[in-house]
Amino acid sequence: MKDAVEEEMKKRGHNVHVDAVMIKDVNEDMLNHYDAYLTIAKTDLAFQPKIPLIEAGPILYRIPAMAQPVYDKVEEVVKKVENE
């Protein structure tokens, strides 16, 4: 998923960096250093993230029609960050 998101955002003219992290390692302090949290499954975190949470699992199916809405949401966050 990391490569797919970085590649798609590059095609759209954005330079993004995605980190792949095990869910057991995700905590509130860690997420404070990111602009968005992309998850591949519904996750019940012990806290409410202050950043956008994007369900990115459809990217894994490699079906463009399913992945497109996810990429659009990611791009929306990227554009918002770029404009700040």
pLDDT tens sequence across 4-42:
999 999 999 999 999 999 999 999 999 999 999 999 988
- pLDDT for position 44: 85
Q: At which residue do the structure tokens 């992945």 appear?
A: 67
Q: What is the pTM of this model?
A: 0.89
* CA gap 16, 24 in Å, rounded: 24
- The H or E element containing residue 54 is strand 53-55
